[in-house]
Structure 1
């Protein structure tokens, strides 16, 4: 009974923290028409994105509220005709510049190098940079709203997490964990106020930065060899004296990250080892997550079979509180809450398996992404 009560109290505290983050501290940029006076460059790195860049690029061309908008696109060694698609969609729009990227030099990974090339080639008059991934589709005032929120927060970097589009069972099990993890475990208010680099989170799908602060932090050159370049960039900003902020961007952007289970599996596998660091730390974190969120329903069933209804009731309550926390996070970030949250214990098991796979393949030096080695 003591162990069951401890689980219940821990899950209750974490769910309460999720609720506090979601209702009090999570920034929510306006989705109403807004205009910014400063020149902004949207930076779009592309590598073999011919099949899905069109909706993204069309949404960039449809941006409103940014009179000085520039759109800089980098074709990063694509072999599928990505550059041709960009030319076809952009036509002769003077706001669009298409660059041909060069291969990353030793010590650089592909994504940081592509982003650094884009930032380095942006018009010198631009004062704010918006990094957007090819799988993101923006609403018409998304860039203006994100830049407005960046300035309101007096931050150097604003990460506006898009709404994650889910279609398959695998999507629904895994993808909502992105927002759930930081809303549950990261104190958002302290993160914004604290200069500690360890208190940082960011998502590279839709990231807005003050250009001067970005360069002061070293830009993507400071995170050249980092798999999680978005989080590491946020930490670099803090180390340089800047501030970072997180926002719910679900009303501004939507993102379909992976089309198939193999893509999703490999996408998480390439980077989860970098999220936890040392394997021992990963083992501790995964064990705690399994104990808090996957064990309670099993404990409830076992207790009922053993004739301990009181213990079963406590364990069942812990499970339901975990489900409630998942629902709070889903509703705060535009994800589907019901009935997906009921499978939260299974989601945590899948996360644990993906984490183990990530470390296993890294040890064997078999991690790669888009045809390039990750480690």
Structure 2
């Protein structure tokens, strides 16, 4: 029974790492009264977001603690009246500028080019840039708190990951894996201290950068053809000699990423192949995750039916250790712990299926997002 014991020890060690990350190293800026005298430009790229951009815009207009705030919105070829919604919400607020984007040139993907159009035309007086997606709703002091945390971390890039709003069964199965993966497998303190580009993580929904450091790294022009432009931007900052930091932004912002299962499925499918790189690497990682987190409850049931209580006990403990890790992650990032954590083995299995689908569709050149080809 050496194999099952080894699996148990590995899962326990990973859960302990999750606990250390969440309890000691995770930055937690709070949405409380704070003021920054820096000149901050919030950059909001939009493509067909008419039905959900209003809460985002209203939250941006309600920001406090940033006297030098400017908001620049880019309508990136929308066909659903997004620009009209923006004009109706912001009115004649002098802090807001609405620009019309152009189609990405050869070699560029849509999101990086939209962000680059925004950032490259910002006033040179801006000290910090804040990239926000349309599905993000910020708290009143979120921008001020995030910029303050960027400076406190001594970093050129800060990624305060928002609270992910979940409403459906598929949401609860898949979305919490984002925070769980980086809390479980990413050494946060080492990531901040190390200059290795491979040791990087970031989320593009809410991203704060020092303007000078961003441009020194090449900005989004350095990641023009990258599907995971947020992570690649963090790596570019490191390659340029800058530092990055990851934070729990659940007290600053919330994000409802996808409205339906097809959107969630296709959203993950378009990018998972880029997360793992080579198919063999993906197979190795997914196989390991399935072994550690999906197999144990199946082994426990099979062992009980076969009259092997000792093996069943070890497998059950392995399953529970994985559940504990999921609970720790949820509580650390504002997520829902119970009863969602109990379905963790199913979550990992769904992730495996989405990864397989991602590679399959990429091989057949059928990956797209918002009407544009990807990969």
Q: TM-score range by the shorter chain?
A: over 0.9
Equivalent position SS for 1:125:
coil
Deviation, 1:274, is: 0.2
Superposed CA offset, 1:217-238 (max 9, x none): 0000000000000000000000
Deviation string for 1:200-244 (max 9, x for gaps)?
000000000000000000000000000000000000000000000
**2:132 matched to 1:132?**
yes
Distance 1:308 1:339 in 2: 28
Whole-Å separation in 1 of the counterparts to 2:40 and 2:340: 38
What is the 5 A alignment of 1:78-157? 78-157=78-157
The residue matched to 2:335 in structure 1 has which SS? coil
Match of 2:207 in 1: 207
Cα distance in structure 1, aligned partners of 2:338 and 2:122: 43
Does residue 359 in structure 1 map to residue 359 in structure 2?
Answer: yes
Post-superposition CA distance 1:260-308 (Å, at most 9, x none): 0000000000000000000000000000000000000011011111111
Q: Distance in 2 between matches of 1:142 and 1:123?
A: 22
Shift of 1:2: 1.1
Confirm whether residue 249 of structure 1 aligns to residue 246 of structure 2: no
Other-structure match for 2:186: 186
CA distance in structure 2 between the partners assigned to 1:31 and 1:131 by the alignment: 18
Give the aligned partner of residue 328 of structure 2: 328
* Structure 2: distance between partners of 1:54 and 1:77: 18
Aligned to 1:57: 57
Cα shift readout 1:17-58 (whole Å, capped 9, x = no counterpart): 000000000001132100000100000000000000000000
Structure 1: runs of 5 or more not aligned: none
SS at match of 1:93: coil
Per-residue Cα deviation, 1:80-136 (whole angstroms, up to 9, x for no partner): 000000000000000000000000000000000000000011121101000000000
Partner SS state of residue 43, structure 2: strand
Where in structure 2 are the equivalents of 1:1-375 lying within 5 Å?
1-375=1-375
How far apart are the structure 2 equivalents of 1:101 and 1:30? Answer: 34
Q: Secondary structure at the match of 2:274?
A: helix
- Using the TM superposition, give the Cα deviation of residue 59 of structure 1 relative to its aligned residue in structure 2, in angstroms: 0.2
Runs of 4+ in 1 over 3 A off after TM superposition: none
Deviates more, 1:124-133 or 1:24-33: 24-33
Q: Contact 2:272 / 2:358 at 8 angstroms: preserved in 1?
A: yes
User: How many angstroms does 1:193 deviate by?
Assistant: 0.2
Aligned partners of 1:49, 1:121: CA distance in 2, in Å?
A: 22
Greater mean alpha carbon deviation, residues 120-129 or residues 185-194: 120-129
RMSD between aligned residues: 0.4
Counterparts of 2:237 and 2:222 in 1: how far apart (Å)? 10
Separation in 2, partners of 1:259, 1:121: 32
TM-score (norm 1): 1.00
Contact 2:223 2:229 in 1 (8 A): yes
Structure 2: segments with no counterpart, 5+ residues:
none
Answer yes or no: is the 8 Å Cα contact 2:31–2:140 preserved in 1. no
**Distance (Å, rounded) in 2 between the aligned partners of 1:153 and 1:346:** 37
Hey, what's the Cα distance between the residues in 1 that align with 2:347 and 2:279? 20
Tell me how far apart the structure 2 counterparts of residues 37 and 26 of structure 1 sit (CA, whole Å).
Answer: 26
Distance in 1 (alpha carbons) for counterparts of 2:31 and 2:337: 22
For 2:355 and 2:156, locate their aligned partners in 1 and report how far apart those are by CA, in whole Å: 31
